Structure formats: C-alpha cells, structure tokens
C-alpha cells in the first residue's frame, strides 16, 4: 500500500484551476518533494490530501484512508505544517503542545517529555513560556514544526519547512527529517526552493500549472544535470508553450 | 507631516475600506447598506412610536446607540497592538504596508480613526438619522423630528434630519474618544477599576446634585441647540480626544510577555481543548476579560439611562427585569466577536478536528462566558433598581434566550467569521430582521406596558425559552451548513 495515492486530482478556485488532473504515488519511507513555482498547486494538493478542502474531481488516499470521506481520520494519522503562518495566538509554546497533546489524546507525561525534547532540538527552551504572538517568526516556525511531528505520525506534510529559520536551525531540521525518514516514516515537503528539494528529498515531483511536469530522483540524475536544470527546463518549457498557445 | 501624505493615506484608506467591503460583499450589495440601515431604523422607530413610545425616548435611544457604537469603534484601542499587528495587518493592506513607510503608528492610528469616523458617519449615522427622522415625523403626525423639541423645531424635514445627523455624529465621536482616552489612561498605569470608580463617583455626584449631565453632551444640543450647550459639548468632545492623544501610544511595544502555564488547569475545568484555547485567547488578548465586562457594563448603563428617560417622559416606570434582561442579552453579539477574533476555523483543520468540533467548542465557550457575564450584570441591575421577583425571573430567561438566539443567528449566517462579515447587505438585512422581530415587541412591553401583567410575563418567559431554543436550533443547523462550505472554499 502506498503512503499517498493521487489519481486525476483537479481543484479550482472559481475560474482559476489550481490543480489539474494530477496523478502521483508516494511510497512509504520516501522523503518526497513537491517542487514548483508560486501558484503551481502545491499547497492545494496538500490541503486536499489532509482533508482541509474537497477536490472537484479525482481520488486521493493517505495510508489507505480517503481524506474526502474521512478528513478527521486522515488527520489522526498524519502531521501537518501549514504554509500559512498560523501561530498559536496567545498561548505559549508549552501550552500549544498541551493543546496538540489534548486533541491527539496524548497523556500529560508524554507531552512534557516531548516538549522538552523539541525545545532542546530546535533551541527554544527559554521561550517555552512566552506568548507565541510575541515570538519572532523563526521561533513561531520552530513551534509549528514541532507541533507537526509532536505525535510522531507515519506521514507528515510540511509546507516550506525552512522558511524564517536561521542556518543552524535549518541544518538541525534537515538532519531530523533525514532521521525521521530513515525510521520508516514518510515526509512530503512542498517547496519552491530547488536547493532544499535537491539536498533533502529522495524523490522530487515538479509541478507547474496544476500538473506534474517531472518526477525525478535527485541522486540518480546524470552528473551533468542538476535538479535546477530539470526544473527550469520543464517549467520554462511549459511557460513557453503556454505563451505560444496564447499567441 | 503637512506635505499632503496624511491626506493621501487617508484617501487611500477610505478607498481600501470601500473596496474591501464591496469585494467581500459582492459589490452592489454593499452599496445598498445605507438604504437598509435607513429602512431598519425607520421601521423600528415607526413601530416604537405607533405603539406608544414617545419620540423623545426614540431619539434618546438613537443617541445612546450612536454612543455605544462609538465606544465599540474606539475599542480598536482595546486590541490596539494586537490589531495593528494581527488584525489590521491581515485585513487592510494599506495599514500593513504603511508600517514600512515614514509614518508613526500614532499618526497611522489617528488617520485610521478619522477614516472610521467619516465612513460610519456617512454609511451608518446618516441613514439612521434620515430613517428615524422620517419615521417619527410620520408616526407622530408630522410633529417634526423631535416632536416639537429642540433642534428640530421650526426646521424643514431635511434640516432637522441634518441636525440629528450632526448630534448623532458628535455622540459617536464622543464614544470613540472616551474609549481611546480610557485606554490611554489605563496604559499609563492607572488601574481600570480606578477609572471606573472615578466615573461611578462622578455619575453619583451628578445624580445627587441633580445635575443634568446630558445637557452638556451632543444629545443636549439635540434637545436645545443653545450656544452654551454647543460650546460645552464641543469642549467635552475635544477634551476626551486631547486626553486620548496625550495618553494613548499606539507604537508602544511592551517586552515579550511570559506567563505561567494555564492551559491544563483551564482545560480540566472547561473540558474541551478548543474552548480552552478560545477562552485563553480572550483572556490574554488586549483588554482581557475586561472587554467582555466593559461591553456588558455599557449596556447596563445605557439601559439604566433609557429607563430613567422613558420614566421621565411617559411618567410610567419601565419594567426593570424585562428591559435589563432583553438588552443585556444583546451582549451576546460582542461576546461572539471576542470569541472568534483570534483564530479562524482553517487553523484547526491541521489537527484531527472537524469543523463541527470547532463550532461546538465555540458554543461551549460562549455559554461559559456570554450568558454568565450578562447574568452577573443583570444581578447588579436588580440590586440597583429592584423589581418584582416574577419580572426578575422572566428577565433572566429573556437574557439567556436573547444571548443564545444572537449566537445561533450569527453563527448560522456567518459561520465563525467576525462580525464585520455581517456587513453584507443581504446577510445584514436577514440578521436585522431576525433581531427586530422578537426584540421590538419585548422592548415595547418592557418600556411602554409596565407594570407588566402576569399574563404578559408568562408570554415573555415562554418567548425567552423559544428564543433560546431557536438559537440552539440555528446553531445545530449551522453544523450542517458550514462544514461543506469550509471544505469547498
């Protein structure tokens, strides 16, 4: 059973089609990158997969569960780091983890233990009792990353995970993501950063105009070709074709 | 800054406000909003006058409404820093981007307040004045806007309506200024309770000294536009704004706030993590639970003033229980706003929570906060004004019923979006009608038919129960309506 199965997914917002007949399979244990320029449909795909929005057509499944029919059941199984910054408002990071633990059924002892682990891992121990609304964007991002992995889910969707983080924390997050994948979990990263995708992901799907335009394994690319080459070739080519068609 | 940038920012803010509302509410619909306001106020005024309420009471109520409206608009200062950082920044691109321009936060807030004043004066207060003036003139047999009183006397209809508009606008400005001044003073270290105590003492002295405070307000000008009254009311308005300007610092950025963990303790009592988070957000956002108490206190004061005025004019003392109960129930409207302003439903959908779970948690938080605060102030009102026990019980039922009805109606119409989304003319028309239909008859009974007979009290009690059930029913129907909308957005 694949971790993620997408068949002919289409989703539009009014007259704008964000995702069009996208088909994709992600195996368990992959660190999969959904790479694309702004407006390519990455976030929409993630929101459909996590049951936040409904598709217009197509079928999707996460760990065999249909997020359209059972959105809450899917979110029980996965972790989500949303693109839109969603700070836990006036709660402190410690309280936010209490909140996450409460909605995910973790006991207080486990919550305490994992709070300390994450605070140490990402370096925000001294901020645990500061209201999140008063934290810097980087600190808020750390809290949200920790919240996505807090219940140790088998599949995690993370949208631009390294945004606002300093280089030291970025390296810590990258190391953690690799270890998490090596432990048999599946991680899906949506990003427009080619370097991040090339460095981190075992497999990358390039999306543009709502569809998949390339599916590559960075480690298997020829020596004279980089992921950036693939990205520019497929995305620029698509744009050129679009311009020609319009003309 | 006198080089025209202030004017430019003001004009652009005004333009953005219009575009934001007309975009959110499907263009032409929003343009009809003033017409709807005029129709609603005209209908309510006509109904009140034809059922025996004096025109003077109607105009006093209208000024009280404008004052409360001003207090609420001024309460942007309550959310002050949070608003500029979180709310306005998200909602108004201009305010957000202007933070990167060479403009002080104080000036930005000042322009924003003036923009609000112009906006509300034209879109709300003018149609209110026109609608009420015309309706009262018709219902009272052409006796003029004020039934032969004050500023209206001897003036043509257009002139009287403009006079009413002027005093309503000044009253609105006074309310805005009072809130900003109060916030400025409290942020300078004067405890809020000291300010309230001082205000209470001043009112006490005025009452004891038989001093007609209202005469020196814009409402006093409406009653009798003599030069001393005009001068006094303008001086009063200027004074509160001077105090506000001297004390309010919009750019003050206190250090990052550190607090002792409270979530688990609250969760164990509240029993729901989302409801707990909601209440913590209200507690820790600027103004704390004080803003909920403030809303209820304003309604308490307004009701007391209306009861006194109605008693003076008609010679009949309105029912304390029915009047306070029904009007304090309206605090459910602001409570809904406080409970929904710090988050949105989307932010919960990354967790294993359904839209229904979030709605249920918000309703639970509302029940814990709204009716309880209303009942506490109702108890104060009863202790202060007294009243028969049966009326008191019926008033309590009405309070809870009205509060639940407002919550259910608002949630059904707008989901968990803040109240601003009621500014869709179509939605607002439905909301206004849904409020007017049950509330006007209740208030007519409370104000004009006191002492209320046992039969009418029984009917009002039953009406309160029906309102509560209707509120719960609308809330339940919203559970069927909104999840699909959120997922299909």
Tell me which residue in A52, A71, A90 faces B284 most closely, judged by beta carbons.
A90
Give the confidence band of B422 by pLDDT, cuts at 50, 70, 90.
low
**What local confidence, expressed as pLDDT, does residue B146 receive?**
43
Give the confidence band of B142 by pLDDT, cuts at 50, 70, 90.
low
Å between B274 CA and nearest CA of chain A: 8
A151 contacts on B by Cβ (under 8 Å):
none
Please measure the distance between the N-terminal and C-terminal CA atoms of chain B and give it in whole angstroms: 43
**What local confidence, expressed as pLDDT, does residue B3 receive?**
62
Alpha-carbon distance of A123 to B37, in angstroms, equals: 54
Of B42-46, B417-421, B481-485, the one with minimum mean pLDDT is: B417-421
- CB-based contact B138:B49 (threshold 8 Å): no
Give the confidence band of B90 by pLDDT, cuts at 50, 70, 90.
very low
Share above pLDDT 70 across residues of chain B, in percent, rounded to a whole number: 85
Task: Answer yes or no: do B351 and A108 touch at CB < 8 A.
Answer: no
pLDDT tens string B99-130: 666 777 677 777 877 888 888 898 889 999 99
Tell me which residue in B261, B262, B489 faces A53 most closely, judged by beta carbons.
B489
Greater model confidence, B53 or A104: A104
Share above pLDDT 90 across residues of chain B, in percent, rounded to a whole number: 32
Site from A89, A97, A112, A155 to mutate, B interface, most B CB atoms within 10 angstroms: A89
- Length of chain A (residues): 247
CB of B82 within 8 Å of any CB in chain A?
Answer: yes
**What local confidence, expressed as pLDDT, does residue B157 receive?**
47
C-alpha distances (whole Å) from B294 to each of A108, B55, B72, B136, B183 are 36, 29, 10, 32, 12
Is 60 exceeded by the pLDDT of residue B166? Answer: yes
Query: What does the pLDDT profile of chain A (247 residues) look like in tens digits?
Result: 899 999 999 999 988 999 999 999 999 999 999 999 888 899 999 999 999 999 999 999 999 999 999 999 999 999 999 976 565 579 999 999 999 999 999 999 999 999 999 999 999 999 999 998 888 889 999 999 999 999 999 999 999 999 889 999 999 999 999 999 999 999 999 999 999 999 999 999 999 988 999 999 999 999 899 999 999 988 876 555 444 434 3
Tell me which residue in A84, A89, A104 faces B343 most closely, judged by beta carbons.
A89
Question: Mean pLDDT of all residues in chain B?
Answer: 82
Alpha-carbon distance of B164 to B130, in angstroms, equals: 8
Give the confidence band of B95 by pLDDT, cuts at 50, 70, 90.
low
Alpha-carbon distance of B239 to B391, in angstroms, equals: 41
Q: Summarize the confidence of residues B202-219 as an average pLDDT.
A: 82
Q: Alpha helix locations (H) across B348-453?
A: 355-385, 389-414, 425-448
**What local confidence, expressed as pLDDT, does residue B2 receive?**
54
* Architecture of the domain delimited by A4-246: 3-Layer(aba) Sandwich (3.40)
Is 90 exceeded by the pLDDT of residue B438? Answer: yes
**What local confidence, expressed as pLDDT, does residue B87 receive?**
41
Tell me which residue in B258, B273, B350 faces A129 most closely, judged by beta carbons.
B258
Alpha-carbon distance of B387 to B319, in angstroms, equals: 8
User: Minimal Cα distance from A93: which residue of B?
Assistant: B261
- CB-based contact B175:B71 (threshold 8 Å): yes
For residue A10, list its beta bridge partners. Answer: A57
Tell me which residue in B257, B487, B489 faces A131 most closely, judged by beta carbons.
B257
Q: Alpha helix locations (H) across B79-146?
A: 80-82, 88-91, 93-98, 105-120, 126-139
Q: Summarize the confidence of residues B132-139 as an average pLDDT.
A: 85
A66 contacts on B by Cβ (under 8 Å):
none
Given CA atoms B442, B446, B447, B451 in this order, what sign does their dihedral have?
Answer: positive
Sketch the domain layout of chain B as residue ranges.
1-252, 272-489
Alpha-carbon distance of B96 to A17, in angstroms, equals: 29
On the CB side of B365, CA atoms within 13 Å amount to 29
**What local confidence, expressed as pLDDT, does residue B100 receive?**
67
- Name the residue among B290, B369, B330 with its Cα closest to residue B77: B290
The DSSP symbol for B209 reads: T
Alpha-carbon distance of B306 to B61, in angstroms, equals: 7
ipTM over 0.90: yes
Task: Answer yes or no: do A75 and B349 touch at CB < 8 A.
Answer: yes
Alpha-carbon distance of A215 to A24, in angstroms, equals: 9
A75 contacts on B by Cβ (under 8 Å):
349-353
User: Which tokens hold the place of A181?
Assistant: 């994948």
Give the confidence band of B149 by pLDDT, cuts at 50, 70, 90.
very low
**What local confidence, expressed as pLDDT, does residue A53 receive?**
94
Is 90 exceeded by the pLDDT of residue B268? Answer: yes
Task: Examine residue B95 and say whether the peptide bond preceding it is cis (omega within 30 degrees of 0).
Answer: no
Alpha-carbon distance of B232 to B212, in angstroms, equals: 13
CB of B352 within 8 Å of any CB in chain A?
Answer: yes
**What local confidence, expressed as pLDDT, does residue A130 receive?**
94
Task: Answer yes or no: do B260 and A99 touch at CB < 8 A.
Answer: no
List, in order, residues 6 or more apart from A45 with CB less than 8 Å away: A6, A9, A11, A19, A22, A34, A190, A207
Neighbours of A218 (CB within 10 A): 18
List % helix, strand, coil for chain B (3-state, nearest 5).
80, 0, 20
């Amino acid at each position: 059973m694949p971790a993620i199965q997408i068949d002919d997914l289409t989703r539009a917002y009014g007259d704008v089609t964000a995702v069009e007949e996208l088909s994709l399979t992600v195996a368990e244990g992959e660190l999969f990158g959904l790479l694309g320029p702004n407006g390519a449909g990455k976030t929409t795909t993630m929101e459909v997969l996590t049951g936040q929005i409904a598709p217009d057509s197509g079928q999707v499944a996460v760990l065999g569960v249909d997020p359209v029919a059972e959105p809450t059941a899917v979110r029980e199984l996965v972790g989500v780091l949303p693109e839109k910054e969603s700070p836990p408002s006036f709660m402190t990071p410690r309280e936010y983890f209490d909140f996450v633990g409460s909605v995910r059924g973790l006991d207080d002892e486990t919550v305490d233990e994992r709070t300390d682990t994450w605070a140490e891992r990402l370096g925000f121990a001294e901020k645990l009792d500061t209201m999140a609304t008063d934290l810097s964007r980087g600190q808020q991002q750390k809290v949200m990353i920790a919240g996505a992995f807090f219940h140790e889910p088998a599949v995690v969707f993370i949208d631009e995970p390294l945004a606002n983080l300093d280089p030291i924390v970025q390296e810590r997050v990258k190391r953690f993501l690799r270890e998490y994948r090596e432990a048999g979990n599946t991680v899906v990263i949506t990003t427009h950063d080619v370097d991040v995708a090339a460095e981190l992901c075992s497999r990358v799907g390039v999306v543009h105009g709502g569809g998949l335009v390339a599916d590559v394994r960075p480690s298997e690319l020829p020596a004279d070709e980089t992921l950036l080459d693939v990205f520019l070739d497929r995305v620029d080519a698509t744009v050129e074709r679009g311009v020609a068609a319009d003309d | 800054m006198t080089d025209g940038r202030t004017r430019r920012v003001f004009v652009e803010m005004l333009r953005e406000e219009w575009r934001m509302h007309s975009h959110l509410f499907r263009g032409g619909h929003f343009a009809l909003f003033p017409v709807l306001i005029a129709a609603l106020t005209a209908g309510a005024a006509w109904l009140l006058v034809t059922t025996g309420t004096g025109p003077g009471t109607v105009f006093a109520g209208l000024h009280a409404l404008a004052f409360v409206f001003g207090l609420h608009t001024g309460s942007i200062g309550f959310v002050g820093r949070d608003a500029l950082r979180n709310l306005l920044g998200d909602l108004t691109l201009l305010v957000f981007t202007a933070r990167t321009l060479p403009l002080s936060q104080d000036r930005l807030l000042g322009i924003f307040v003036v923009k609000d004043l112009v906006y509300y004066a034209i879109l709300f207060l003018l149609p209110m004045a026109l609608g009420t003036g015309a309706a009262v003139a018709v219902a009272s047999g052409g006796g003029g806007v004020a039934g032969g009183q004050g500023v209206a006397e001897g003036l043509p209809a257009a002139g009287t309506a403009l006079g009413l508009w002027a005093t309503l606008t000044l009253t609105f400005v006074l309310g805005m200024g009072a809130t900003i001044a109060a916030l400025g003073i409290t942020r300078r270290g004067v405890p809020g309770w000291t300010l309230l105590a001082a205000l209470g003492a001043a009112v006490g002295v005025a009452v004891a000294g038989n001093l007609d405070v209202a005469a020196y307000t814009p409402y006093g000008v409406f009653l009798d536009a003599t030069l001393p009254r005009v001068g006094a009311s303008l001086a009063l308005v200027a004074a509160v704004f001077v105090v506000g300007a001297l004390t309010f610092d919009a750019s003050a950025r206190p250090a990052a706030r550190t607090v002792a963990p409270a979530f688990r303790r609250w969760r164990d009592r509240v029993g729901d993590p989302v409801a707990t988070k909601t209440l913590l957000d209200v507690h820790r956002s600027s103004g704390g639970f004080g803003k909920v108490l403030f809303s209820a206190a304003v309604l308490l004061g307004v009701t007391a003033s209306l009861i006194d005025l109605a008693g003076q004019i008609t010679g009949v003392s309105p029912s304390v229980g029915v009047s306070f109960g029904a009007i304090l129930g309206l605090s459910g409207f602001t409570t809904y706003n406080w409970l929904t302003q710090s988050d949105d439903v989307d932010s919960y959908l990354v967790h294993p929570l359904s839209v229904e779970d979030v709605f249920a948690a918000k309703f639970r938080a509302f029940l814990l906060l709204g009716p309880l605060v209303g009942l506490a102030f109702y108890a104060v009102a009863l202790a202060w004004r007294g009243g028969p026990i049966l009326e008191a019980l019926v008033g309590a039922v009405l309070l809870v019923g009205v509060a639940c009805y407002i919550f259910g109606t608002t949630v059904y119409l707008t989901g968990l979006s803040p109240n601003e989304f009621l500014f869709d003319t179509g939605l607002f028309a439905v909301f206004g009608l849904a409020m007017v239909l049950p509330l006007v008859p209740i208030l007519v009974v409370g104000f004009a038919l006191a002492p209320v007979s046992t039969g009418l009290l029984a009917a009002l009690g039953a009406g309160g129960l029906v309102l509560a059930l209707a509120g719960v029913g609308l809330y339940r129907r919203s559970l069927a309506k909104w999840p699909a909308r959120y997922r299909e957005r």
